[in-house]
């Protein structure tokens, strides 16, 4: 998108109940409208803000008590982030007839009885209102989909404005799942007005009466248990499908809203899902920018005007702010029409912000025959499945180098693939860490085949622990034995080391990109370890802390970021009352990945984390030779929650430092 161009300046107003909903001075909270605000400000347009309560008539002319929003003089930066730098410089009376373009969030517009709606409507006659009042009210009414599109599959849904009507609606709903949904009929999104209630709750009447009293008009709806697998958000602009994405609820949560910690990932629509989404959005022709929330089964949950834009940008690099401003500038100023958007199927297959990374895979054979040393099975997998890159979010980079259990079949005979090989793997650590967010880079190749956490070709370095100086493709066991049964030829060495280069090239690319886009990069290198030291380690026979943070003695990242991570990790671990302990730099201060990629002076911060296997699984017990590899549930989710708190604290600290 052409985010940096600066056409003729427009007078642009943003309507919402408040000017900010966060720690930023200006933040309209909805990430779609905030993107538009940012792009508009970066392009030099005149920006104003007002709420519905700010509208008034003066000498029969409509005005708003508006705030003037401005960027610092000569500001330069990421157009999508400029709202973070906007400041309210003054208040002024804004004549509505002078507004060229007005965006409406609609969080203080409930229905056609909303005060001052008649004044706002004047903008539709003199300028451009986005979305229109009709579109805003239509999508605020969560029963409108049932009225307009009864042919579209939906959960059973009934309106009610009294306890009696709500109780009558309950009799029509299926009861086998034990729950139903009760929500504000005129809610504006974020899931805050959506509630799950038990049919057999002894206080059922009181609960319903409370929400009816609070909202006046409610929706009584069938609860669909498949929502535990997430839902699909299909976004449209002017009838064109921009892209679909999947939202997966956080652990222990059934709502899929970002407000409640949901993850957003790539999704490719089936033909039936796309047909249903198009039918649903076609029932609301007055809405320009809309999203359809639906389940895998095709049931449509609701339609939203002005959906958020963060997920599309994080996953695909799509800037809805730039798309919308391009189109509206074209309409208002007579500029050339913007180029057509990339079709969704292309986007879902990797087109967009990650082209450079996906291009790295093109230098490999597309498929590789591999042997699974854990299950003793052979598979034919894509190269992308061996060095696996998954952008779950842009907040940080997550490296998982030692979880792999695969060896290319052509090299399987080079190793004794007995049970002792499994001791060299951070078993099931991929399951543990992949439950987090971040731009994830995972090696599915066994570390004894190619160790991403060692030097490329081996080196002599007295400042580095001796085991880290070994070559990545000549693996020494915990007993300091070379596992390779016979030496490689030069051609074989060159072939294997390319996997190593691919892994580190992706990490380096992501770090550079993250620094460029948000001023810093944070890499978490995720590992697991035995709960008691064994083999060639100085703490042999000693019990280890459950969590060990590696920081190269506070040199791998900014001290404040390290402190925030360690403190949050320790605090979160204590809340579960399981006796989980934390340590820093003992017994591991950081491996080669931490040493290679850290560069705090240039804003690249790396933290290594080791978790004892006993914390999340039944680990192999060396003394009794008992091999147990089952995960501990719900320990996995608890550990993910603890790590997630630590990462969140580190990211928040980095954001504050580099804001």
pLDDT of residue 586: 92
Residue 525 lies in a domain: yes
State whether residue 365 is helix, strand or coil.
coil
Q: Which of 8-22, 203-217, 537-551, 622-636 has the lowest mean pLDDT?
A: 622-636
**Residue 117 preceded by cis peptide, ω within 30:** no
Residue 145 lies in a domain: no
253 and 206 in a common domain: no
256, 291 contact by CB (below 8 A): no
Q: How many domains does the chain have?
A: 4
Residue 374 lies in a domain: yes
Question: What digits encode the pLDDT tens for the residues 306-318?
Answer: 888 888 887 777 8
Task: Give the residue from 9, 17, 12, 126 showing the smallest Cα distance to 69.
Answer: 12
Question: What digits encode the pLDDT tens for the residues 465-517?
Answer: 666 677 788 877 666 677 788 888 989 988 999 999 999 989 988 998 898 88
How many other C-beta atoms lie within 10 A of the C-beta of residue 264? Answer: 22
Distance CA 102, CA 33 (A): 11
409 and 554 in a common domain: yes
378 and 304 in a common domain: no
pLDDT of residue 621: 61
Task: Give the residue from 13, 6, 3, 10 showing the smallest Cα distance to 51.
Answer: 13
444 and 359 in a common domain: yes
Residue 431 lies in a domain: yes
Q: Is the pLDDT of residue 170 over 90?
A: yes
Share of the chain above pLDDT 90, in %: 61
**What CATH number should be reported for the domain holding residue 219?**
3.30.1490.20
Q: Is the pLDDT of residue 206 over 50?
A: yes
Query: Average pLDDT for residues 69-87, to the nearest whole number?
Result: 89
510, 439 contact by CB (below 8 A): yes
Put simply, whether the predicted model's pTM sits higher than 0.85 gets the answer no
Question: Confidence band (pLDDT; 50, 70, 90) for 418?
Answer: confident
Query: Domain boundary residue among 223, 255, 280?
Result: 223
Check residue 107 and report its DSSP letter: T
**What CATH number should be reported for the domain holding residue 110?**
3.40.50.20
Domain of 218 in residue numbering reads as 156-223
16 and 88 in a common domain: yes
The chain-wide mean pLDDT, for the chain, equals 88
103, 46 contact by CB (below 8 A): no
| Complete DSSP assignment for 438-492 | SEEEEE-B-TTTS-TTSBSS----TTS-GGGGSBTTS-B-TTS-B--SSPPPHHH
pLDDT of residue 538: 67
pLDDT of residue 208: 96
The encoded tokens of residue 380 equal 């034919």
Distance CA 198, CA 456 (A): 58
Residue 320 lies in a domain: yes
DSSP lists the bridge partners of residue 140 as none
pLDDT of residue 329: 92
pLDDT of residue 301: 94
pLDDT of residue 461: 63
376 and 255 in a common domain: no
232 and 216 in a common domain: no
Q: Is the pLDDT of residue 405 over 60?
A: yes
Residue 72 lies in a domain: yes
100 and 75 in a common domain: yes
Question: Confidence band (pLDDT; 50, 70, 90) for 11?
Answer: very high
Question: Confidence band (pLDDT; 50, 70, 90) for 338?
Answer: low
């Amino acid at each position: 998108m052409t985010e940096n161009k600066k056409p003729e300046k427009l007078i642009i107003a943003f309507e919402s109940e408040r000017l900010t909903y966060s720690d930023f001075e200006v933040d309209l909270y909805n990430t779609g409208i905030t993107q538009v605000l940012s792009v508009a400000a970066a392009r030099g347009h005149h920006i104003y803000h007002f709420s519905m309560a700010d509208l008034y008539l003066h000498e029969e002319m409509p005005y708003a008590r508006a705030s003037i929003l401005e960027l610092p003089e000569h500001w330069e930066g990421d157009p999508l982030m400029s709202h973070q730098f906007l400041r309210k410089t003054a208040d002024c009376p804004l004549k509505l007839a002078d507004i060229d373009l007005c965006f409406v969030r609609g969080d203080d517009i409930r229905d056609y009885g909303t005060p001052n709606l008649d004044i706002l409507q004047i903008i539709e006659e003199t300028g451009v209102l986005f979305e229109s009042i009709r579109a805003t009210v239509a999508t605020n009414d969560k029963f409108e989909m049932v009225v307009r599109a009864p042919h579209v599959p939906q959960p059973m849904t009934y309106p009610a404005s009294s306890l009696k009507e709500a109780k009558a609606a309950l009799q029509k709903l299926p009861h086998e799942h034990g729950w139903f949904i009760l929500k504000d009929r005129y809610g504006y999104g974020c899931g805050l007005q959506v509630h799950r209630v038990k049919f057999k709750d002894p206080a059922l009447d009181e609960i319903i009466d409370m929400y009816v009293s609070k909202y006046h008009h409610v929706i009584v709806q069938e609860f669909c248990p498949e929502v535990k697998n997430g839902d699909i958000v299909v976004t449209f602009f002017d009838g064109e499908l921009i892209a679909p994405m999947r939202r997966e609820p956080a652990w222990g949560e059934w709502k899929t809203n970002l407000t409640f910690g949901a993850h957003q990932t790539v999704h490719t629509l089936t033909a039936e899902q796309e047909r249903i989404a198009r039918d649903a959005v076609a029932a609301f022709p007055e809405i320009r920018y809309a999203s359809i929330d639906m389940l895998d089964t095709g049931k449509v949950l609701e339609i939203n005007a002005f959906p958020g834009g963060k997920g599309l940008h994080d996953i695909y690099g799509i800037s809805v702010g730039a798309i919308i401003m391009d189109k509206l500038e074209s309409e208002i100023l007579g500029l050339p029409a913007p180029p057509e958007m990339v079709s969704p199927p292309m986007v879902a297959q990797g087109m967009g912000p990650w082209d450079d990374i996906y291009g790295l895979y093109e230098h490999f054979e597309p498929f590789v025959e591999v042997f699974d040393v854990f299950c003793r099975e052979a598979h034919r997998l894509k190269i992308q499945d061996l060095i696996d890159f998954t952008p779950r979010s842009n907040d940080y980079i997550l490296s998982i180098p030692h979880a792999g259990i695969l060896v290319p079949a052509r090299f399987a005979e080079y190793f004794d693939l007995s049970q002792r090989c499994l001791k060299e793997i951070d078993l099931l650590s991929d399951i543990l860490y992949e439950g987090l967010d971040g731009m994830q880079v995972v090696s599915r190749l066994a570390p004894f085949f190619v160790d991403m956490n060692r030097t490329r070709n081996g080196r002599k370095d007295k400042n580095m622990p001796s085991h880290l100086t070994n070559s990545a493709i000549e693996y020494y066991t915990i007993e300091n034995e070379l596992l390779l049964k016979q030496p490689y030829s030069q051609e074989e060495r060159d072939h294997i080391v390319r996997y190593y280069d691919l892994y580190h090239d992706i990490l380096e690319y992501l770090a550079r990109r993250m620094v460029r886009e948000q001023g810093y990069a944070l890499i978490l290198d995720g590992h697991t370890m035995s709960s008691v030291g064994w083999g060639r380690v100085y703490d042999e026979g000693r019990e280890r802390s459950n969590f060990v943070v590696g920081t190269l003695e506070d040199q791998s990242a900014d001290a404040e970021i390290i402190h925030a991570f360690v403190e949050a990790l320790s605090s979160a671990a204590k809340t579960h009352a399981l006796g989980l302990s934390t340590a820093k730099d003992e017994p591991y201060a950081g491996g080669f990945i931490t040493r290679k990629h850290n560069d705090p002076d240039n804003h690249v911060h790396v933290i290594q984390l080791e978790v004892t296997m006993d914390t999340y699984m039944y680990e192999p017990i060396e003394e009794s030779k008992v091999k147990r590899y089952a995960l501990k549930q719900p320990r996995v989710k608890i550990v993910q929650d603890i790590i997630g708190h630590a990462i969140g604290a580190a990211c928040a600290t980095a954001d504050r430092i580099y804001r």
